Amino acid sequence: MIPTGHPPRDEIARLTARMLLEVDAVHFNAREPFTLASGKPSPTYIDCRRLIAFPRVRATLMDFLAVTVMREAGFEAFDNVAGGETAGIPFAAMMAERLALPMTYVRKKPKGYGRNARIEGVMHEGDRVLLVEDLATDGGSKLSFVEAIRDTGAQCAHTAVIFFYGIFPGAEPALADHGVRLHALCTWRDVLDEARAQDAFDAETLDAVARFLDDPEAWQAARG
């Protein structure tokens, strides 16, 4: 069903952060930092893949994401919804259902046999495609998926995610330089605010996370 009304943006951000905390998708640990894909340390880690295991949470978040995209991009702005391999695939499927659109998915690289395709499903030249993923960090992986979509002759000017790090200043400009607008439900700062409101972590940990969010590069540099 296509959602037609939901809370304002700031309330969507707060409720999204609350749900991420409730399903234990949020991990804070300043004493034993996590290692990111870049190899750099971080006191924060988020696992949006957990969301697919919680029907009420995932349904609400997909309603939020659908209405956010319609509000910000338009109600008749898309012809196709594409999910990025692999985490984006279930969320793209749910978004396509809500927007009543065809769904495809984009491989990270050609599969190496058969058609050697990166796009699975049916995508037509000229289609206006919404790229859906679980989260965005610096936007780099989105550009690879966008390129694969555009190689088919389709258009891709929007990407939608549940969670956006929101701490790397070059992320949105990098996407904008390639003609892509990012739509997200919440960021690390929203999660930190809700974690404080719920006393979800001890004050020392929350303060350390706040320092990281204020200047992630300096925080990482201080820890090698």
Q: What is the mean pLDDT of residues 81-108?
A: 96
Q: In the 8-state DSSP scheme, what is residue 21?
A: H
The string of DSSP letters for 78-145 reads -SEEEEETTTHHHHHHHHHHHHT--EEEE-SS--SSTT--SEES---TT-EEEEEEEEESSSHHHHHH
pLDDT at position 40: 80
pTM reported for the whole predicted model:
0.93
More confident residue, 164 or 6: 164
Q: In the 8-state DSSP scheme, what is residue 31?
A: S
Mean pLDDT score of the chain: 93
Q: What is the mean pLDDT of residues 5-32?
A: 94
More confident residue, 50 or 39: 50
List, for residues 66-76, the tens digit of each pLDDT value: 999 999 999 99
pLDDT at 138 over 90: no
Which letter, b or e, does each residue of 31-52 get, where b requires 16 or more Cβ atoms within 10 Å of its Cβ?
Answer: eebeeeeeebbbbbebebebbe
Read off the pLDDT band of 171 (50, 70, 90): confident
pLDDT at 39 over 90: no
Contact yes or no for 192/210 (Cβ under 8 A): yes
Q: What is the mean pLDDT of residues 184-198?
A: 97
Domain boundaries, the chain: 9-221
Highest CATH level, class, for 9-221: alpha beta
pLDDT at position 69: 97
* 3 state DSSP class of 194: helix
The H or E element containing residue 169 is: none
Express as a percent the part of the chain with pLDDT over 70: 96
pLDDT at position 139: 77
Contact yes or no for 159/136 (Cβ under 8 A): yes
pLDDT at 224 over 70: no
